[in-house]
Chains A and B, each alone.
Chain A
Amino acid sequence: MSIVEISRAPSIGRPIAINWLRELSARQSALTGAGVLLVVAMLPMGFAFLLDTRLFNGIDVWIKPLKFALAVAIYMFTLAFFASWVDEKVRTARWFCALAWATASAGTLEVFYIALQASRDEASHFNYTDNLHMALYGLMGIGATLMISFSAILGILIARNGKLDVAPVIKDSVVLGLTLAFVLTLIPAGTMSAMGSHWIGGVHSDAGGMALTGWSRDGGDLRVAHLFGTHAMHFIPAFGVVSALVLGPEKRWPVWLFTVVFCGFVAFLFFQALAGQPFLPRLH
């Protein structure tokens, strides 16, 4: 029984990155393709970042599309990786491929629109300036919901795959991670959408935010819970691998315990933001 399937990825003769991409593409080509497209798009956007002097919310206009391209690419690669854990018959079914294509397209279009709006120095999310931009923002919401739904679908399909040859604790961790990523993303993302901003209190600007993430340091920021919630699909399976190696592959309870703690942590971050408290306050 293989604890992690990745050990099968061939790595002789060619750069490892190419072999990995080939392996991912064999697992789910549409999702991998979208991921590659987004990573490639980061090159000219990165160059635009060096050239552009315009600011949005206090930071360079290109930071947001770069962050979204990277995040959605990682999401696509993760889905592609786990797609092969679904039963062969289901995975090759037309409806599954159509859903994967829809997810890949939604993610790519999302980043495309964010980049387009950045190039125009305008908001993409929370843009209520006119009917067109409100409609487009609405479409982004539909696209994002579609995109994150695929994670839950994948989780359920993996749970139902009785032929999957991985350790029980690993299977549980992946099912829990993928399914909870959907729930833990939808709640903070839906809340910030309903509130019309991810900032609660504090200065509504990215200028004084944390390094890399840009999270507010003087008020609540719902993006914190969004990030950790979505990364349930990485944190929980990663814990599953560690648990399998340290505590043995048959013991399932550690991963369930970790999942409860992790959900509690995301809930804490969510309510911390709602209370207007920063994740890491600025030191005085």
Chain B
Amino acid sequence: MDPDTIFRTANLLALAGWLVLLASPLWPWLAERLSGLAIPLLLSVAYCGLIFAFWTSGKGGFGSLGDVARLFQTRQLLLAGWIHYLAFDLFVGAWIVRTSRLEEIRFWAVVPCLVATFLFGPAGFLLFNAIRSTKSIAAQPGMSTKVMS
């Protein structure tokens, strides 16, 4: 199995997970099981397999930026890094959907967070928490002054 095939398959899987998250108001149960668990787990298996097979063939390490760059010169490890993104971003996306449902944040406000998480990972996480905090401040009048002081 060559890295490019795995790359394409992993991308398709992740994309399917994100589409299910976007349609999650229709099937919250499916989104939870599929995007929040099954697909990240599948990607994790692929990640571990890649690491098991190729961690010794990598040069470099984690000690310096140069070392990390050298590590990713091995294509299979670069692929593992990419799958790491895909798995954890999707997991965070599912967490956003779950949390928004528990805290009754309207879905139209969640959609930009999902898009941002899909494209820029931590940016979407930051955005969602920003929206979350404004809602919790707005929900408790008088709390805002306490937070300010």
| A interface residue numbers (CB < 8 A to B) | 43-48, 50-52, 62, 115, 119-121
If over half of A's interface residues share one DSSP class (helix, strand or loop), that class is named, otherwise mixed; here it is helix
Instruction: Please give me the 7 A-B residue pairs with the lowest Cβ-Cβ distance, nearest first.
Output: A47-B49, A44-B48, A48-B52, A52-B53, A48-B53, A48-B49, A44-B49
A132 to chain B, nearest CB (A): 17
B46 on interface, CB distance cutoff 8 Å: yes
**Contacts A119-B55, A119-B56, A121-B56: A51 and B50 contacting too (C-beta < 8 A)?**
yes
B147 on interface, CB distance cutoff 8 Å: no
Per-residue A-contact encoding for B32-50, CB less than 8 Å = 1, 0 else:
0000000000001111111
Contacts of A115 in B (CB 8 A): 52
Interface pair A51/B45, CB less than 8 Å apart = no
B81 to chain A, nearest CB (A): 15
Contacts of B55 in A (CB 8 A): 119
From 5 to 30 in chain B, residues with beta carbon under 8 angstroms from any chain A beta carbon are 6
If over half of B's interface residues share one DSSP class (helix, strand or loop), that class is named, otherwise mixed; here it is helix
Contacts of B48 in A (CB 8 A): 43-44, 47-48
B51 to chain A, nearest CB (A): 8
B2's nearest neighbour on chain A, judged by CB, is A51
A53 to chain B, nearest CB (A): 9
**Contacts A51-B1, A51-B76: A46 and B56 contacting too (C-beta < 8 A)?**
no
Interface pair B49/A51, CB less than 8 Å apart = yes
Query: Measured between alpha carbons, how far is A119 from B51 in the docked complex, in Å?
Result: 9
**Contacts A50-B1, A51-B1: A120 and B49 contacting too (C-beta < 8 A)?**
no
Contacts of B76 in A (CB 8 A): 51
A44's nearest neighbour on chain B, judged by CB, is B48
A122's nearest neighbour on chain B, judged by CB, is B56
A18 to chain B, nearest CB (A): 15
**Contacts A43-B45, A44-B45, A47-B45: A119 and B1 contacting too (C-beta < 8 A)?**
no
Q: Which of A51, A119, A121 lies at the interface centre, i.e. has the most chain B CB atoms within 10 A of its CB?
A: A51
Cross-chain pairs A/B with CB under 8 angstroms, 5 sampled: A45-B52, A48-B52, A51-B49, A51-B53, A119-B53
Query: Measured between alpha carbons, how far is A47 from B48 in the docked complex, in Å?
Result: 8
Query: Measured between alpha carbons, how far is A121 from B54 in the docked complex, in Å?
Result: 11
Contacts of B1 in A (CB 8 A): 50-51
Query: Measured between alpha carbons, how far is A41 from B56 in the docked complex, in Å?
Result: 19
Query: Measured between alpha carbons, how far is A191 from B53 in the docked complex, in Å?
Result: 32
Contacts of B54 in A (CB 8 A): 51-52
Contacts of B6 in A (CB 8 A): 51
Query: Measured between alpha carbons, how far is A43 from B43 in the docked complex, in Å?
Result: 11
A54's nearest neighbour on chain B, judged by CB, is B53
Contacts of B46 in A (CB 8 A): 44, 47
Contacts of A44 in B (CB 8 A): 44-49, 52
